[in-house]
């Protein structure tokens, strides 16, 4: 029987991407029927990722160019010199932060599981949480996952991000999250700088809108935006287009960023959220409670994620661009043991 199972496994390996314990007792053979379709789809994701990467660069370039050509002169006309300087400095700070974290996220290797020559799968049982990847046929550390697009096991893999043209894993997860945060701040900033101009350019006369602006004390901004000569047609087109692009991206990134911030707060990756949810459901059927052994509490989870431990500061290593490495190697994680530490969440050392 074992020989038959081994033969079936070897036959299905090209299309089978599974993880099981070294003992091999839990195998979902039905995945062999779905994985060929998934492989074809995921190969196309590489090309989608390349397209998304180009779109991100083109989109940021469009917004920055429009801002320099049309929005900065407009701000100079309607803002007090002091506030104009503040707007300009803050905008350039956001541009620097967005660019730094995006390109570091794209070009930083997310972290790959080690290749161990003559690896004995049963020896993995000696290391807590280690498994065997049946795509790589090699060791799979805790929280690692095999990415079929990158064709490797990625340490603490969160997801394969087409917009970053890279996997998001242990080494670049912080860059991804900070890029999302700073990008949201950047698009919000552009919307705030252009909304009054867009109301004038689109000749919006809705009484309800002006009543709301009066209540919020923002009607004066529209009056200032309406002053001066009529803008060229190109200015109106680009400013309105950039406004709606940034408005849509602000909403999308707000949802994406909020979701990822929640996952970081409970120390879960996107993949772990679904696997832990399934495991918790199975344990409830047995009358047991699931405990995330990698959850150190919200505050400590963020400190570990941002790497602000061992003397690092929030100002120097988060508010300013920083290429510091994560807190540890991403392979052997400190655990809050389910039995002895179920109600004790301590900072990992």
Instruction: Indicate which residues carry an active-site annotation.
Output: 161
Binning the chain into helix, strand and coil, the percentages to the nearest 5 are 60, 5, 35
Query: Which residues have CB under 8 Å from 77's CB, separation 6+?
Result: 227, 228
Q: How far apart are CA 307 and CA 321, in angstroms?
A: 13
- Which residues are within 8 A (CB) of 22 and not within 5 positions of it... i.e. 6 or more apart? 121, 122, 124, 125, 131, 132
Angle between helices 219-226 and 173-201 (to 10 degrees): 70
φ/ψ of 264, rounded to 5, equals -65, -40
DSSP state string for 295-320: ---HHHHHHHHHT--TT--HIIIIIS
CA distance 131 to 229: 69
* Contact criterion met (CB below 8 Å) for 180 and 158: no
Cα distance between residue 155 and residue 110, in whole Å: 7
Q: Which two tokens stand for residue 133?
A: 């990847």
Distance CA 187, CA 317 (A): 23
Q: Which long-range contacts (CB under 8 A, 24 or more apart) does 229-235 make?
A: 231/70, 231/201, 235/69, 235/70
């Amino acid at each position: 029987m074992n020989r038959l199972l081994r033969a079936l496994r070897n036959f299905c390996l090209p299309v089978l991407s599974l993880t099981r314990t070294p003992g091999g007792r839990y195998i979902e053979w039905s995945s062999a029927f779905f994985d060929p379709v998934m492989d074809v789809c995921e190969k196309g994701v590489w090309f989608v990722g390349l397209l998304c990467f180009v779109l991100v660069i083109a989109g940021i370039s469009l917004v920055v160019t429009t801002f320099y050509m049309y929005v900065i002169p407009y701000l100079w006309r309607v803002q007090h010199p002091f506030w104009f300087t503040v707007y300009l400095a803050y905008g350039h700070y956001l541009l620097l932060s967005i660019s730094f974290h995006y390109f570091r996220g794209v070009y930083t290797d997310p972290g790959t599981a080690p290749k161990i020559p003559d690896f004995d799968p049963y020896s993995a049982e000696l290391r807590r949480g280690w498994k065997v990847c049946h795509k790589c046929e090699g060791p799979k550390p805790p929280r690692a996952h095999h990415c079929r697009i990158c064709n490797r096991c990625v340490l603490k893999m969160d997801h394969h991000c087409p917009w970053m043209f890279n996997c998001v894993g242990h080494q670049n997860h912080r860059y991804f999250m900070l890029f999302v945060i700073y990008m949201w701040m950047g698009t919000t900033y552009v919307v705030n700088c252009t909304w009054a101009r867009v109301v004038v350019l689109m000749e919006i006369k809705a009484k309800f809108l002006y009543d709301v602006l009066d209540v919020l004390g923002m009607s004066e901004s529209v009056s200032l935006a309406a002053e001066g000569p009529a803008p060229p047609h190109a200015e109106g087109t680009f400013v309105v287009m950039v406004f709606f692009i940034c408005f849509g991206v602000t909403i999308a990134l707000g949802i994406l960023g909020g979701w990822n911030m929640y996952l970081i707060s409970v120390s879960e990756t996107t993949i772990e959220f679904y696997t832990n949810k399934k495991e918790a459901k199975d344990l409830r059927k047995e009358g047991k409670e699931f405990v995330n052994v990698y959850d150190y509490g919200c505050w400590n989870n963020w400190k570990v994620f941002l790497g602000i431990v061992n003397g690092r500061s929030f100002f120097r290593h988060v508010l300013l661009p920083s290429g510091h490495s994560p807190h540890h190697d991403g392979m052997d994680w400190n655990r809050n043991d389910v039995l002895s530490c179920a109600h004790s969440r301590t900072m990992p050392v």
